[in-house]
Structures are given as C-alpha cells and as structure tokens.
Amino acid sequence: METTSEVSLRESLKRVFGYDQFRGRQEEIIHHILGGQNTFVIMPTGAGKSLCYQLPAIVQGGTAIVISPLIALMKNQVDQMNAVGIHARFLNSTLTKSESNRVKKDTISGTVKLLYVAPESLTKEENVEFLKQAKISFVAIDEAHCISEWGHDFRPEYRRIKDIIAKLGDIPMIALTATATPKVQLDIQKNLSMDGAQLFKSSFNRTNLYYEVRPKQNAKKQLIKFIKDHKGQSGIIYCLSRKKVEEIAEFLKVNDINAAPYHAGMESKERMKNQDGFLNEDVDVIVATIAFGMGIDKPDVRFVVHYDAPKSIEGYYQETGRAGRDGINSNCLMFYSYNDILKLEKFNKDKAVTERENARFLLEEMASYAESSVCRRKQLLHYFGEEYEVNDKNCRGMCDSCRHPKEQFEGQEIIELVIQAVKLTNERFDINHLAALIVGKATQHVKSYDHDKLDVFGKGKDINSDENFWRSAIRQTLLHEFLKKDIENPAVFQVSKKGDAFLDSPYSHKLSKDHEYDADADSEEDLDKAPVNVSAYDKVLFGMLKKLRKDIAHQEDIPPYVIFSDPSMEEMCTVYPTSMDDLKQIVGVGESKARKFGEPFLQMIADYIEDNDIVTASDVLIKTSGTKSKNKIYIIQHIDQKMDFEEIAEARGMKYEDVIAEVENICYSGTKLNIDYYIDQLLDDDRQDDIYDYFLNAETDELTVAMDELGEYYSEDEVRLMRVKFMSEYAH
C-alpha cells in the first residue's frame, strides 16, 4: 500500500509535470533527497535529471537552491516552472539591481520554491549573506562535472561551492551530471566531500540516437542536403566560434532555411528572442557555439549537427543528448577533419601546463572516437565507464560504423603484443609511448626509461610500422576490455583480468580498420569559386527538355532561350531538380521564371528519373551568402529607387561594368528588374526597339552573337542593358 508521501509525490508528478509514473530511478532519488541525505546522480541528457530536484523542491517547505552554469537553461527552466504555477526565479548577471532585490525579497519571504543561481553569483559575499536569511531545503548542483579539471567544462567557481554551502549551515546536497567519466566522478565526490553519498547511476545508452561522422569535405553542401532531408524538423548546429555561428546561420537563411544564431557575444535580448523562437517553433534551426553550450530543454529536437569537432567526448555526448529527448529516433551528425583538432590545440597553448595536457588528452580521445570504426555507441559508453556488447539485437545499426562496417582483420598477435607492452612498462604509460615502443621508435622518452632494451621494442614493426595503426590497435584492445584505464590518470593503460587471461590462453579475435579522413579536407569550401561541373550532363534528358522548351516557345511566341538558357538546362540535366525549391536553385532560374515555366519541366524530369531509376543529386547547387548577396540586395533596392548605375557603383566601391554584370546576374537568377528609367537616358525609343526586335527574333541571347549583329551601331553596355530589359519583360 502506498504511503501518504508517495501519493502526494505522484499527485504532484501528474499535476505539475503531466506524467503518470516516474522514469528509471527518479522516485528512489527523490525519496533520498526528501530524507535529507546527500545524493549523487549521474544520468544521461534527456533522462529526466531536472525532475529529480524540481519535484522534491515543490513538495517540501522552503526554497531549493539550484546552482547552474547555463544562463539559458536557468531561464528555460524558470519559464517552465512558472508556466505550471510553481514560483521559480533566477539570480545571475542578466538581472538589474532592482530585479535582484525583488528576487531576494521573494526568496526570504518563502514564496520562491526554486532559486537558480549562477556559480559566479553564489561566490559574492552579499548573496551569501542573503541566503543565510532564507529557509533553504537543499542545494542542487547541476552540471557538477564543472568541478573537475578533467571535465569538458571546468569552472574554478565550482571548486568553492562546498565551502560556501558550509557557511549556510548543514544543508543536504544533490550533485547531478550527464557526463561523468570515472575520473570526473571521483573528482566530484572528493571536492564536495560526498564520498559517502548514495550514487545513482543510469545507463548512458541513448538507444534512439543515430551517431554518424562524415569527412569535412564540401561540408556546407552536405549541411544543406542534410537539413533539407529533415525539412520542418527542429535541429541544432554547433560551431567552433561565434564568427562561424553567424556565418552558418546567415548561409542557412540565404538557402531558405529558417535558422537563427545563438552565442555569448550577442545582445542578451536577441539571444533570448532566438531561444524563445526555437522553443516556440518560430525557428527551425539554432546555430550555436560549442564553448557556450545551449541549455535548451526542448524534447523534439530531431537532429544535432557538429559542424566543427567538439573539444571533448563529454561535450559531444552532452550536445548530441539534446536530440530526441522525447524518445523518438533522431540523428547526430559530426563533420570531422583533423584540422579542427589542430585548431583547438592552438587555442590551448596559453593555458597552464596541467590544464593544457588535460585538454590535449580530451582532444585525442575525440579524434580517436571520430576515426575508429568500432561501434560509436560502444565507444561512448566505454568512455563513461559502461561496458556494452555489440550485437544485432541492441545496436540495430544505429551508428554509421555498424550500418557500414569497415574491413576486419585477425588481431590475436596484435592484441598479445599490446598487452605485453603495457605489462613490461609497468602499466604507467600512455598510447603514444606504447605505439613508439612497439614500432621500435627510440624517442628520448623511450630511451630515458631503457624501454628500447625491452623484448617488445620494435616487435610490431614487421606487422605494421605505422604508429597510427598501433594507436588504433591499442584503443581497440581497450574497447574490447583487454586493457583498462587508470582512474586517477585516464591517459595511462593497465591490463585487465580479461587481458591477463588472454595472455595465458590467446584466441582468435578480430580488429577493424579505422575510418580514413583526409587531413586536408575542405573545411571551408568557397562556394563562389566552386561552380557546378556541368560537362557530364545527361544528354538524353537534355534533348527531351530542349524539345519541350521549343514547343512551349512556339506556343508563347517567344524565343526558346527566354524560357531557360542552355546552361540552365545543362544543370537541370546534371542535378535533376524535382521540386520548385530545387529548380529555383539552378543558375539562371529564379522565383518568377520557375513559377511561369517550371511545372512541365519538373514533370518531365520526375518521369525520367522514375523511368531510369536515377538517384538525384539536387543538393549540389546551393546559394551563398556574403558580399555578393549584400551587393545584390543593395542594387535591387536602389534600382527600385531609380538610382543611376554610376552612383550605385560609387556607393558600393564597384566598377561600373561590375554593376552591369551584377544586374545581369540578378536578372538571370530570376528577379525582374525595371531599368527603363536608366535605359531611357541612354537610348531613344527607336534605338531601343531596334535592339528589342533583334532579341525577339534571335535564336540565342549570347552577347558575342548579338554584338556581331549590332556592334556597328551600339555599345556593348547598351546591348547588355537592353538584354536585361528584354529578359525581365519576357522571361519573368
């Protein structure tokens, strides 16, 4: 029979959160907190950590203090609590003095059930004095991994939490994190003096997430294709820098994707506006910095893309964990180039030695994860101290390594050699030292320990002399549990019981070849300088489209080139557009031309694709943002205002001929321009009619052909401008 407190808990669970039952060990954790005991919770992102401290705060008297490093998450959770009638507030640097005073007054009066505090705010003496006056039920330390220098988001302020809480009295604590490796777990327990606290650890396995790593080649083109394959779905894209966030967000918007940026350098109001837009589904895609993090509790994020490599597996796991919190299958894609790892290493050069070494280790682990062909899920879970047996039943092809397995090879002799190297070096060295030793590389470090005199020195050279091969072999030996890591020093390898047993009685065991990524991959391709190669267009389809164009031109009594130019049709026969959006991205085709002439062409292409079983590649054409885009907008706006072209050129710092070229590009991209006001200054009506008649009866709009016919009487600029006028009136 349920006790009164259990009934009360379940009633509050239903009334406030809308759930009929608890998930996993939530109820057990909550009872532990209500019992006034210190509690340590390691639970993956999306598994319901927040409820573990929110519900006991609601049913208890007093105010629960929640220490959180993410301002965005504070606002999000406070908004959620207030929306269901629970009085929650936050205290951080975004508040004015009067707003802070109001929060403090409400807390002391006992009306605030949950007070979210940034660690920086907690360290201020005035705030400590204020908290002494409040009735505090317990303290929740969210994102507790920030305590550890081995964590992915170390914050020195977190080291002071224990001493500050001690000033407030004997108050129970609950520490929560989604990304604690065994070493980080140890650091948290030591720093908070929670060695005796009850540990509640859930599985890190997010079975509904598909993990994929792709080479960072033509990444922008891949990104557009990926997002358009998930049209209308919510997604997050993480980038390395604020500048990259702004660039990618603008790039997506130019390509008709409803995106917004989000990073710490933005005005607070703008950042909150974009966050709310994402939560309210006014924005489909948020582009954010890896360093800043998101802190957005949105259940239906269908994809997370890392445009740049993260700084650590902890960061990667936490960020991918923002996808699929509602349990529905979601995608996690990372674009990987080792160049990103090298960039991140440069950022660490000014850090203290220990911090720099820790950061380097985390980056090596990230690179290993990307390059290894072992099941992504197995690698992630192993990193967090959870073993996972890969088989058809549980991974179900939910990562690229399992869906597209790499070639395997016999590894018995290799594993034996790796275990021997670890044993003979007294289990005290890292992967680079062991790899150098096995291939017989007499580095200064190897010689200083006389390891060049060991039997194992150079023994692997005949198998493979590449240190990268042996680093991969060592990682796989670890993942298959023949080795383990030293908890106090995770860079160091030790031999497990399974490894000892293997040495006593070796047996056949398969290893896998790593993924191969080009170190010189195009991390930032220049789309303006990468025109589509249309030399290999489908000539059969081109002939069909050409006949269709001629038939329509005859019906409309206009030259065929007015409908679509040959280059435009060649691109159609290269990328096979099947929708109006695809067609509008073809060079020389815009909104009005696609709407006016596009339907029969799309139908013919769709029928041809189906009849010939063709896989389309319409994603290769994408629009670019940047200076050209800004020039285009400026020129269109000022043509509408009837500004002379010479004035436009001067205002934009362009040459006059460049303005005409841009006007042509705008026209041939599908925008109708009325430049009569300018042409009327250059040519009288008779001369305009003369050029007009030429284009109306010509078989092509090629400038060289037109100049052969008209050049004796007209300048090239005059013919080009009249061609724009003609195309604007007939083609749009």
Pick left, alpha or beta for residue 19 (phi over 0 → left; psi -120 to 50 → alpha; otherwise beta).
beta
- DSSP label at 480? T
Tokens 């710490």, located at residue? 264
pLDDT(628) > 80 = no
The number of C-alpha atoms within 13 Å of 236 and in the hemisphere containing its C-beta is 30
Q: Which CATH architecture has domain 209-403?
A: 3-Layer(aba) Sandwich (3.40)
- Report pLDDT digits (tens) over 350-373: 777 777 888 888 888 898 899 888
Phi/psi at 505 (5° precision): -145, 80
- Report pLDDT digits (tens) over 674-690: 999 999 888 888 888 88
Grouping H, G, I as helix, E, B as strand and the rest as coil, residue 312 is coil
Phi/psi at 698 (5° precision): -75, 155
User: In sequence order, which residues have a C-beta less than 8 Å from that of residue 56 and are 6 or more positions away?
Assistant: 30, 33, 34, 64, 137, 138
Compute the CA torsion angle 570, 573, 576, 582 (nearest 10 deg): 10
**Ranges of each domain in the chain:** 4-201, 209-403, 412-508, 527-620, 627-730
- Report pLDDT digits (tens) over 555-581: 888 888 888 888 788 888 887 888 888
- Calculate the average pLDDT of the chain: 84
CATH superfamily of this structure's domain 627-730:
ATP-dependent DNA helicase RecQ (1.10.10.1390)
The CATH code of domain 412-508 reads 1.10.10.10
Residue burial 471-493, b: 16+ Cβ < 10 Å; e: rest: bbbbbbbbbbebbbbeeeebbbb
Q: Which CATH class is domain 527-620?
A: mainly alpha
Least Cα distance to 55 among 26, 92, 94 occurs for 26
Question: Is there a shared CATH topology between the 4-201 domain and the 209-403 domain?
Answer: yes
- Report pLDDT digits (tens) over 106-118: 999 989 999 999 8
**What pLDDT is stored for residue 463 in this prediction?**
92
171 neighbors 138 (Cβ within 8 angstroms): yes
Residue 616 pLDDT class (50, 70, 90 cuts): low
3-class secondary structure per residue, 142-198 = CCHHHHCCCCCCCCHHHHHHHHHHHHCCCCCEEEEECCCCHHHHHHHHHHCCCCCCE
Concatenated DSSP letters of 485-535 = E-SSSTTSEEE-HHHHHHHHS----EEEPPP---TT--SS--GGG-----T
Q: Which CATH architecture has domain 4-201?
A: 3-Layer(aba) Sandwich (3.40)
Q: 244-248, 340-344, 376-380, 539-543 — which is least confidently predicted?
A: 340-344
Is the model's pTM score more than 0.75?
A: no
593 neighbors 667 (Cβ within 8 angstroms): no
Q: In sequence order, what are the beta bridge partners of 653? A: none
**What pLDDT is stored for residue 523 in this prediction?**
46
135 neighbors 61 (Cβ within 8 angstroms): yes
pLDDT(156) > 80 = no
Tokens 């327990």, located at residue? 189
